[in-house]
Amino acid sequence: MGVDGTVPGGGLVQLVEARPDEYSGFARRLQRAFTDAAVHELGVDPDEPIPSDEDVWQTLREPGAEVLHVVREDRVVGGVVVSIDEHTQLNSLDFFFVDGDQQGRGTGVLAWRAVEARYPETRVWTTFTPYFERRNIHFYVNRCGFAIVEFFHPGHPDPHDHRASPGDSQDGDGTDHMFRFEKVMSPQRCR
């Protein structure tokens, strides 16, 4: 793959900054992608947005957050929200989604590579995903090179009380069942 996000026969994936007036549409698409997964895996109410409006908007407005459209072949096909710490370069992937019709076509991997290329100074990436998101776990570990470094559950709650989403807790105690992933980047170059 070239630095510009191209692969032979795979098209071009670009990251384009979302304008604040586009955040509402971005949030709805993000919630649709996350809700579809929760409905499929857990049978939750499809009318209950996941993550909550409050969680999405809080993340989009965080200082240092960058909201990016994933564009493939001149069409918006997903989105990314990252938080970049210019001082430490310990950065977080807060939200990452690919529209349903783009899943299984390599779009997510191409988008992740574009994220790595956009932020080459990153020392460590961190992200979270609910325990039931088997596709996400496969994607982050097997396709993107992340490692699972922690599992939060009632016996080991997240000390930072990472954003809760309906359906994350099977026992209704309010504790998320979440994996924390890290990817330590090579100091020379992204993979």
pLDDT at 43: 66
What's the CA gap between 41 and 3, in Å, rounded?
Answer: 35
Give buried/exposed letters for 162-188 (b at 16+ CB in 10 A, else e): ebbbebbbeeeeebbbbbbbbbebeee
Torsion-angle region of residue 43: left (phi > 0), alpha (psi -120 to 50) or beta?
left
Residue ranges of the chain whose pLDDT lies below 50: 1-9, 162-175, 189-191
Say which residues have a Cβ less than 8 Å from residue 183's Cβ, sequence separation at least 6.
Answer: 124, 125, 144, 145, 146, 147
User: Beta partners for 183?
Assistant: 125
pLDDT at 22: 97
The tokens describing 39, both together, are 């409905």
Helices (H) and strands (E) in the chain, counts: 4, 8
pLDDT at 131: 81
pLDDT at 135: 84
**Half-sphere exposure (CA, 13 Å, Cβ side) for 15?**
24
Q: At what angle do helices 53-60 and 23-42 cross, to 10 degrees?
A: 130
Taking a C-beta distance cutoff of 8 angstroms, is the pair 154, 121 a contact? no
